[in-house]
Copies of this chain bind each other. A is one copy, B any other.
Amino acid sequence: MSGFYLICFDVHHPKRLRKIANEMENFGNRVQRSVFECHLETAQLADLQQRLETLMEPVADQVRYYPLCGKDKQRIIVDGLGQVSADPDFHLV
């Protein structure tokens, strides 16, 4: 069963930032400049983590993975533009 993850990154070099964002586009939905919402199986999360580790500079950059259970996901609040990513369409099969 897939889990819902919020993934935020702080990358200080434009080229690395672009590469990381492009890779993230394969795994989920961009909701803010450096914030993605993803529905991932455990193996996909591990795969994504490995890919980003090769693209980032660990002493300069940062990627944070926040898992949200179903109950937490129901309590997400969005003020202003946008909404929470829907479940099925963004599930990678």
Question: CB within 8 A of A64: which of B35, B57, B67?
Answer: B35
Is B64's CB under 8 angstroms from A77's CB?
A: yes
How many copies of this protein are present in the complex?
2
Is B49's CB under 8 angstroms from A64's CB?
A: no
* Interface membership of chain A positions 51-91, coded 1 if the CB is closer than 8 angstroms to chain B and 0 otherwise: 01100111111111111110110011111111000000000
Number of interface residues of A (CB under 8 A): 36
Cβ-closest chain B residue relative to A79: B63
Question: CB within 8 A of A49: which of B33, B60, B77?
Answer: B77
Is B64's CB under 8 angstroms from A32's CB?
A: yes
A75: chain B residues within 8 A (beta carbon): 67
* Interface membership of chain A positions 1-12, coded 1 if the CB is closer than 8 angstroms to chain B and 0 otherwise: 000001011100
* Distance from A63 Cβ to chain B, minimum over Cβ atoms (Å): 5
Question: CB within 8 A of A71: which of B35, B52, B61, B69?
Answer: B69
